Amino acid sequence: MNVAIVLERATSPADRLTTISALATAFARFFGEPQEVCRINYVTGASECEAWPAGQRLLEEEPGKHELLFVYGDRTAPLDGSRSSIHTESNGVRASFVVSLPVPLNLPLAQLEPQLLNAAEAISRSEADTFAIAAGWELELDADVRPQDVLQGSFPDFPLCRWLAGPTPLFSREPTGFAAVNRSGDITLLRRV
């Protein structure tokens, strides 16, 4: 299960670490404890990895043009061994974070909703004026997607989306096939019906 977050601002290294810590805390049940930080060059395949907490230094450096940053947790999927992770990237205008969780296929998915709401509340307390959260199996969002597009359901991975969350004022209408399941302060969580 992936939970993708887009912030309508670039992040500094300190912001990046704060956001990753908030997301790891919000999804602790499925993410576990941070174990390793990796910077991976997706063109050359080169990678640099360090155990947590020393690996935090990799989050404090700006990644190169073709590099991705991952923080791996200690939870793994029983069938394929995939690890929990938080991936982050920025395009200088927006930042995205993708939390990959090895959720059991038989888990009643409504059990994820408190964690989604916690993540949205943690993001709203940061300096992000505008943000969006989308969650679903194998769902991805990159930093080129605007939060407004996510909350209106107009992004490429929308068919994979099971939940949307964001600031209530940004929901001018609920995307077709979604209904509000929770409102907490200025945050709304929608579920596909």
- pLDDT tens for the chain, 193 residues long, are 999 999 998 888 888 999 999 999 999 999 999 999 999 999 999 999 999 999 999 998 888 888 899 999 999 887 777 899 999 988 888 999 999 999 887 888 788 999 999 999 989 887 666 899 999 998 988 889 999 999 888 899 999 999 999 998 888 788 889 999 988 778 999 999 9
Residues 103 and 1 sit within 8 Å (Cβ to Cβ) = yes
> What is the pTM for the complete model shown?
0.93
State the Cα–Cα distance between residues 161 and 34, nearest whole angstrom: 26
Q: Which two tokens stand for residue 178?
A: 């979604």
Helix (H) or strand (E) holding 151: helix 147-151
Q: Which residues contact 24 (CB under 8 A, 6 or more apart)?
A: 31, 33, 34, 71, 73, 86
Q: Which of 151, 77, 165, 70 is nearest to 115 (CA)?
A: 165
Residues 63 and 56 sit within 8 Å (Cβ to Cβ) = no
State the Cα–Cα distance between residues 55 and 49, nearest whole angstrom: 7
